[in-house]
Every structure is written in C-alpha cells, then in structure tokens.
C-alpha cells in the first residue's frame, strides 16, 4: 500500500467494551481500496465486534474509525448515510422471513436510497440472476437452502452499490456441502475488486483470497501479514498454537 | 429427497402385485374404521348419559318449575327479545369502535416504549406511566371516573355523553394491556433483524416499521384475538353509566316484570357473539402453531 493513497477504512486505536469485558483493545487497521482483509482467530477474539463497529452497529468507546478519510465515529455523523455506502453480511443470514427474496433485497434501495420500486426490482432481478438465484426471487427465505439464503443476503448487501463489504463468519452456520457455493460468490467479488473485510474460520479460503491476514486474540491484533507468510511461518506463539489446532482439525 | 423415497414405494408396490396390495388396503381400512368409530361412540354415549342424568336431576327436583318460570320463561323471552337485541346492537357498535381505537393506541404506546436513545426518554416515560396507571386501576373504576366525572364538569367543547366517556374508559384500559401484548411481540423478534435492517441504511423508525413490526404483530395475533373476545363482554360494563345497551335493557325489563329471563336473553346474545370468536381464535392459534413447527424443521 503506497503512502499517498488514502485508505478506504482506517481503525485508529479502537476500544470497545461490553460492561466490564474489553472486547477490542486498541485496534489499528488499514484497508486500502480493492483490498481483501481476513480476520482470523478463536471465537470471542473480537472479530465480529470489529465488523459491527465499522458498520456503526456498535458504538466505540475510544479511538476513531475513518471511512474514505472521514471520521465516521465523530458526533453528528449520520450513521444511516454511512451504512448506505457499506454492506454487511451476517453469520445467520438475517433475511427478513416475512418478505420474499425480492422484497428482502429491494427494501434498502427503496426505503433508504429512495429508488422507485420498478427500478429497484429490475436491478434486484438482474443481480439475483447473476448469483444463480433468478428463480428464487418470489420465494420466501424459509423455502431456500442455507447456501441460497446466504447468497440472497450477499445480494441484499450489494444492492446499494457498497464501497466496502463486511463479512461476519458468513459460512459458519452452513452445512459443509453448502460452504463452497458461498465462498465461490465471495471469491468472485474479490476478483471484481470489491474492498472487503472478512471475519472467517475458513483458513484455506483466507489463504487464497486475502491480501493480508490479521490474527486476533483477546481483543488485540497479535500478528498481521500476507497470507503466505502468516500461515507458513507465524511468529507469535498464540498464532502458532491457533494454526496448529486448525490444521489438526483439518480446516487448512 | 422426498421424490426419491416416494418413487421407491411405488416401485416396491408394483413388484408385490396389485391383488396383494388391495387385500392389505382393505384390511387396513377396516381396522382403521374400527379404531375410528369406537372412541367416537364412547364419547357420544358418555356425553349423552352425563347430560341426561344432570338434566333429569334438575328437572326432577321440586324447585325446577320455579326456576324455569323465573329464568327460562318462553313468553318472557319473546317479550324481552326486541329491546335486548336493540341494546345488543349498541354493544356491538361500541365493541367495534373501541377495538379499532385500542389497536391503534396500543401500537403507538408499544412503539413509544421501545424507542431507543436518550432523546426519546420523555416519550418512553409517557408510555410507561400511561400503561402503569390504566393497567393498575380497575376498569369499572375508570368507567365511573370518566363516565360520571367528565360530563359533570360541563366543560364546553367536551362531549357530555356517558356513552362516549364509557367507551373512552374502555379504550384507555384495554390499550394499556394491549400495548404490553404488542411489546411482547416486538421483544420476540430477534435483535439481529433490527441490525440487518439498520445495516441497509434504514432509520430506527423504518427498521421497526418494515422489519420488526410485521413479524411482531404476526406473533401476537392469538393474544390480540383473545383480547377482542374479552372486550366483547366488557362493553357491558358501560351499563353502569345508564347507557341502554343489552344488559341495561334487560335489567330494566327485569325490574318491571320481576322475571330474570330478560337477563338470560342478554346472556344468550353475548354467547352467540363470543363463542364463534373464541373458536376463531383457537383455529388461528392452531394454524399458527402448525406454521411455526413447519418452518422450524
């Protein structure tokens, strides 16, 4: 990353706590445009919270988060306007069960972006076609497989033309045989140059797709580097232990 | 998966040959028939026997003719019917108007109570105080206070009708309960639904309106129907204000004729309205349960 380019997302000494528990302790992170960042680490290390803070779903106690050079954690920032420029995909899909797939994906454009129904639906059907869900537009989410639901959720996050996509362990709730189709979609987005931050347990995927990998442990980033380096010769002892367990579990 | 198992059965059936199959089916059917008929017959016979004994015991007692004259006189029934029915029509009107207002006011209260952020504190306080007061004071007391109290003030511009203030009392009291029903529904929707809606750029209000409330209301329809049934009877409380609805009309006739049949007429009318409603509520609940267990699998 050259120094004169403003990073798309910057976390500067971000602290977050839930009650007494410190979840994020002084996180520094930079994400350049078109970069794919993977956050790895054991459950409860703060990966998900970090993503939720970037999407302003959680308020940070200390530090700041910059988006396109602007401090979005400053008072007076309209969080809805910020969120319209980002997409987030959740572990449990979080589709709206009372709406069809098409209604799910056009809700944001219609209500938040003020796009006309006809236009939003045309674009929605186009995108669904592109993601192999063309015939599912008028189905309700509970009629879809987990993989289809998660792909629909990804389409929903793409509908507002986001500048950044956040993925919060999006394959963790899926049956193993459905993981591939969702990872394939994300890989496609990476190839098209989408800026992304992924919290993931899929180490093999992180190694293939990420530009940089950050290992998190107990609210801190312990080690960062290109995937080839970090997975091959981790320096920190915690990283070594974590990767050893992952390899033993057959996840790499 | 379902397709393959079905075709498996079909091919197995074809292999074992039709005559064999028909024999098995008829045996199965006769067995089923026996199993079906026996419990129904037992139920019917025991019910008949039970009520037969009860009716015989009542009719055989020496007091039955007096009871019948006083409560179940056919002539008194015919005489009371038109006036009580007229009064019941007013009950139904009050019921419908009150229910519409209750559903709207309760939703508003519930929404105010769930608003987040320090700026909305006053509205939350208003909602909580309202609900606490009108849930805590007996409905009859509210009816007395508003129905007699407000018209007595003779404030120009305010209606003086006991009927209006009686309905207002019903609305306030029931709205407080119903608001809590809505709130339970809002709480039953997972927080992640709100997060998903907010992450799309929707405002707090839009997230509530489009993502949370439709699911919340669907979850509490059985409880709302229950409240509807309950309100249908409680409109009769307004009779204490002298409003000539069914119970009042029936009581006027009772006082004139010294016969209680007119009150039984009113009871029959209320039953005719509330029993079908209760069955409707049961039916909806059962369907709702089926829907949920289906989507859970």
Mean pLDDT of B224-230: 91
CA atoms of B55 and B70, how far apart (whole Å): 17
Give the SS3 label for residue B49. helix
B46 and B84 housed in the same domain: no
Partners of B197 on chain A (C-beta within 8 Å) are: 96, 107
CB B158 within 8 A of CB B113: no
Q: Of B193, B200, B214, which is closest to A160 when you measure between CB atoms? A: B200
> String of b and e for B129-139 (b: at least 16 CB within 10 Å)?
ebbeebeeeeb
B216 touches chain A (CB under 8 A): no
Q: What is the pLDDT of residue B32?
A: 55
Q: Of A81, A97, A107, which is closest to B200 when you measure between CB atoms? A: A107
Q: What is the pLDDT of residue B12?
A: 40
B56 and B180 housed in the same domain: no
Q: What percent of chain A has pLDDT over 70?
A: 97
In the structure encoding, which two tokens stand for residue A98, read together? 């009372």
Partners of B214 on chain A (C-beta within 8 Å) are: 98
Residue A183 has pLDDT above 90, yes or no: yes
Residue B3 has pLDDT above 70, yes or no: no
B220 touches chain A (CB under 8 A): no
Mean pLDDT of A116-121: 96
Q: Of B202, B215, B295, which is closest to A108 when you measure between CB atoms? A: B202
CB A11 within 8 A of CB A50: yes
Q: What percent of chain A has pLDDT over 90?
A: 86
B141 and B163 housed in the same domain: yes
B101 and B242 housed in the same domain: yes
The CATH number covering residue B116 comes to 1.10.3720.10
CA atoms of B73 and A237, how far apart (whole Å): 94
CB A160 within 8 A of CB A85: yes
The answer to whether position B171 is within a domain reads yes
DSSP string, chain A: --TTSPPSEEEEEEEEEETTEEEEEEEEEEE-TT-EEEEE-STTSSHHHHHHHHTTSS--SEEEEEETTEETTSTT--HHHHHHTEEEE-TT----TTS-HHHHHHHIIIIIS---HHHHHHHHHHHHHHTT-GGGTTS-GGGS-HHHHHHHHHHHHHTT--SEEEEESTTTTS-HHHHHHHHHHHHHHHHTT-EEEEE-S-HHHHHHH-SEEEEEETTEEEEEE-HHHHHHS--SHHHHHHHHHHHHTT--
The chain B residue lying nearest A51, using CA atoms, is: B199
The complex scores an ipTM of 0.92
Q: What is the pLDDT of residue B5?
A: 41
B55 and B119 housed in the same domain: no
B251 and B288 housed in the same domain: yes
The chain A residue lying nearest B202, using CA atoms, is: A112
CA atoms of B99 and B251, how far apart (whole Å): 26
What tens digit of pLDDT does each residue of A226-246 get? 999 999 999 999 999 999 888
B93 and B117 housed in the same domain: yes
First to last CA, chain A: 27
The answer to whether position B262 is within a domain reads yes
CA atoms of B59 and B54, how far apart (whole Å): 9
Partners of A83 on chain B (C-beta within 8 Å) are: 198-201
First to last CA, chain B: 15
A77 touches chain B (CB under 8 A): no
Min Cα distance A86 → chain B (Å) is 8
B48 and B123 housed in the same domain: no
Domains of chain A, residue spans: 97-160
Closest CA to A98 of B255, B216, B58: B216
Give how far Cα A5 sits from Cα of A68, A158, A210, A217, Å: 10, 25, 20, 29
Partners of B198 on chain A (C-beta within 8 Å) are: 57, 80, 83
In the structure encoding, which two tokens stand for residue B271, read together? 């039953």
What tens digit of pLDDT does each residue of B120-160 get? 899 999 999 999 999 999 999 999 999 998 888 888 888 88
B228 and B110 housed in the same domain: yes
Q: Which residue has tokens 């015989």? A: B56
Q: What percent of chain B has pLDDT over 70?
A: 86
Min Cα distance A230 → chain B (Å) is 32
Whether residue B192 and residue A92 make contact (CB cut-off 8 A), yes or no, is: yes
Please tell me the least confidently modeled range out of A17-21, B27-31, B150-154: B27-31
B198 touches chain A (CB under 8 A): yes
Please tell me the least confidently modeled range out of A108-117, A241-250, B77-86: A241-250
What tens digit of pLDDT does each residue of B88-126 get? 999 999 999 999 999 999 999 999 998 888 888 999 999
Partners of B215 on chain A (C-beta within 8 Å) are: 96-98
Number of residues assigned to chain A: 252
Closest CA to B238 of B226, B248, B253, B251: B248
B225 and B83 housed in the same domain: yes
Min Cα distance A27 → chain B (Å) is 22
Residue B297 has pLDDT above 60, yes or no: no
Partners of A57 on chain B (C-beta within 8 Å) are: 195, 198-199
B80 and B50 housed in the same domain: no
Average predicted confidence (pLDDT) for chain B: 86
B161 and B224 housed in the same domain: yes
Given B38, B60, B82, which residue is the final one in a domain? Answer: B60
Residue B170 has pLDDT above 50, yes or no: yes
B192 touches chain A (CB under 8 A): yes
The answer to whether position B66 is within a domain reads no
CB A84 within 8 A of CB A112: yes
More confident: B19 or A17: A17
Residue B121, phi then psi, degrees to nearest 5: -55, -45
Q: What is the pLDDT of residue A216?
A: 95
Domain extent, residue B179, equals: 74-296
Average predicted confidence (pLDDT) for chain A: 92
Q: What is the pLDDT of residue B217?
A: 93
CA neighbours closer than 13 Å in the CB half-sphere of residue B191: 3
Number of domains into which chain B is organized: 2
What tens digit of pLDDT does each residue of A120-179 get? 999 999 999 999 999 999 999 999 999 999 999 999 999 999 999 999 999 999 998 899
Given B16, B32, B60, which residue is the final one in a domain? Answer: B60
The answer to whether position B68 is within a domain reads no
CA atoms of A68 and A12, how far apart (whole Å): 14
Whether residue A98 and residue B214 make contact (CB cut-off 8 A), yes or no, is: yes
CA atoms of B292 and B297, how far apart (whole Å): 9
The answer to whether position B69 is within a domain reads no
The answer to whether position B10 is within a domain reads yes
Residue B13 has pLDDT above 70, yes or no: no
Min Cα distance A213 → chain B (Å) is 25
Partners of A81 on chain B (C-beta within 8 Å) are: 201
């Amino acid at each position: 990353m050259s120094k004169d380019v403003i990073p798309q997302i910057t976390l500067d000494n971000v602290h977050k706590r839930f009650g007494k528990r410190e979840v994020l302790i002084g996180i520094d992170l930079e994400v350049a445009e078109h970069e794919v960042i993977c956050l790895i680490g054991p459950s409860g290390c703060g990966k998900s919270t970090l993503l939720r803070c970037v999407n302003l779903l959680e308020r940070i106690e200390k530090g700041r988060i910059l988006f396109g050079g602007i401090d979005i954690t400053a008072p007076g920032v309209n969080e809805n306007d910020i969120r319209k420029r980002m997409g987030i995909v959740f572990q449990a899909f979080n589709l709206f069960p009372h709406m069809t797939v098409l209604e799910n994906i056009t809700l944001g454009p219609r209500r938040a972006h003020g796009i006309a129904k006809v236009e939003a639906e045309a674009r929605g059907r186009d995108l669904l076609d592109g993601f192999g869900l063309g015939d599912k537009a008028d189905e309700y989410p509970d009629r879809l497989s987990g993989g289809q639901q998660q792909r629909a959720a990804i389409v929903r996050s793409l509908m507002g033309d986001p500048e950044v996509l956040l993925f919060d362990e999006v394959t963790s709730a899926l049956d193993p045989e459905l993981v591939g189709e969702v990872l394939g979609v994300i890989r496609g987005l990476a190839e098209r140059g989408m800026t992304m931050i992924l919290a993931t347990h899929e180490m093999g995927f992180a190694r293939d797709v990420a530009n940089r990998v950050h290992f998190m442990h107990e609210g801190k980033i312990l080690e960062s580097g290109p995937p080839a380096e970090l997975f091959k010769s981790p320096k920190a002892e915690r990283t070594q232990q974590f990767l050893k367990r992952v390899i033993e579990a057959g996840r790499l | 998966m379902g397709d393959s198992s079905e075709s498996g059965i079909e091919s197995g059936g074809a292999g074992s040959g039709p005559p064999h199959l028909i024999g098995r089916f008829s045996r199965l059917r006769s067995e089923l028939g026996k199993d079906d008929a026996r419990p129904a017959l037992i139920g019917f016979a025991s019910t008949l026997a039970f009520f037969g004994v009860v009716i015989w015991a009542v009719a055989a007692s020496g007091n039955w003719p007096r009871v019948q004259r006083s409560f179940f006189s056919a002539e008194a029934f015919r005489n009371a019917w038109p006036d009580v029915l007229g009064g019941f029509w007013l009950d139904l009107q009050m019921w419908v108007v009150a229910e519409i207002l209750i559903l709207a006011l309760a939703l508003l209260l519930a929404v105010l109570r769930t608003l987040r952020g320090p700026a909305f504190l006053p509205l939350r306080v208003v909602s909580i105080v309202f609900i606490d007061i009108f849930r805590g004071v007996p409905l009859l007391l509210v009816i007395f206070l508003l129905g007699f109290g407000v018209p007595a003030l003779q404030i120009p511009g305010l209606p003086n009708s006991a009927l209006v203030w009686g309905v207002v009392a019903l609305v306030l009291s029931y709205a407080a309960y119903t608001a809590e029903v809505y709130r339970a529904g809002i709480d039953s929707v997972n927080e992640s639904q709100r997060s998903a809606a907010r992450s799309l750029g929707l405002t707090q209000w839009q997230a509530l309106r489009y993502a949370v409330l439709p699911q919340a209301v669907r979850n509490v329809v059985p409880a709302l129907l229950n409240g509807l049934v309950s309100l249908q009877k409680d409109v009769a409380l307004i009779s204490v204000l002298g409003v000539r609805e069914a119970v009042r009309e029936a009581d006027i006739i009772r006082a004139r004729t010294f016969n209680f049949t007119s009150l039984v007429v009113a009871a029959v009318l209320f039953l005719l309205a509330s029993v079908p409603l209760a069955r409707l509520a049961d039916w909806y609940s059962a369907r709702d349960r089926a829907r949920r267990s289906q989507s859970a699998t």
